[in-house]
Amino acid sequence: MNPFLLWLESTALSTWVRESPSVFAFPAILSCHTVGMGLAAGINASLAIRILGAAPAIPIHEMKRFFPVMWFGFWLNAISGVVLLIAYPTKALTNPLFYLKLILVAIAVALVMPIERRVFGEPGRDHDPALGQVKKLAIASLVCWAGVIVSGRLLAYTYTRLLQGF
């Protein structure tokens, strides 16, 4: 028994998310987490496949206009993810896959910055030979986001403990 997790699971927020029959509790938070996933992973994937050569007529540096929406999705998921974690801390923290997901999220976010610096820097770099190096980053980004989605999805099937004492 972990006293901190036991306390966390007994808090009002944790209990409400877990046990409330309201559609605005667990179902709504899970829905937010999925919409945010579509925005964050989807917009990053669109940028990556453009960097890799799809839709070459898109001026890449202009795609930065869509990035506030990507970050909105990211923060929506950071917040909804923390709430889901508060609801079921034991379930997540005793699953090694959860840590893999967090590591992949960290790498995916860390990759955004060098990619942004190279392609959003200045206009007219679309045909820059240096773009070749960004392609490797784009592939890494695609792999990480796909890994985040798959490991997140598998959390529902690989947990060994649900709550403290269960």
Binding of other proteins by 66 (CB under 8 A):
yes
Binding of other proteins by 115 (CB under 8 A):
no
Mark 144-163 with x for binding to other proteins (rule: CB under 8 A) and - for no binding: -xx--xx-xxx-xx------
Query: Other CB atoms closer than 10 Å to residue 77's CB: what's the count?
Result: 24
- Least separation in angstroms between CB 94 and other proteins: 18
Whole-angstrom distance, CA of residue 115 vs CA of residue 140: 11
| Interacting span for other proteins (CB under 8 A) from 9-17, 26-34, 74-82, 107-115 | 26-34
- Least separation in angstroms between CB 2 and other proteins: 27
Running DSSP on this structure, what letter comes out for residue 58?
S
Cβ-based burial of 117 (10 A; exposed 0-12, middle 13-18, buried ≥19): exposed
How many Å separate Cα 123 from the centre of its chain? 28
Token pair of 18 as six digits:
């877990």
Chain residues in the site for other proteins (CB under 8 A): 23, 26-27, 30-31, 34-35, 37-39, 41-46, 49-50, 54-59, 62-63, 65-66, 69, 145-146, 149-150, 152-154, 156-157
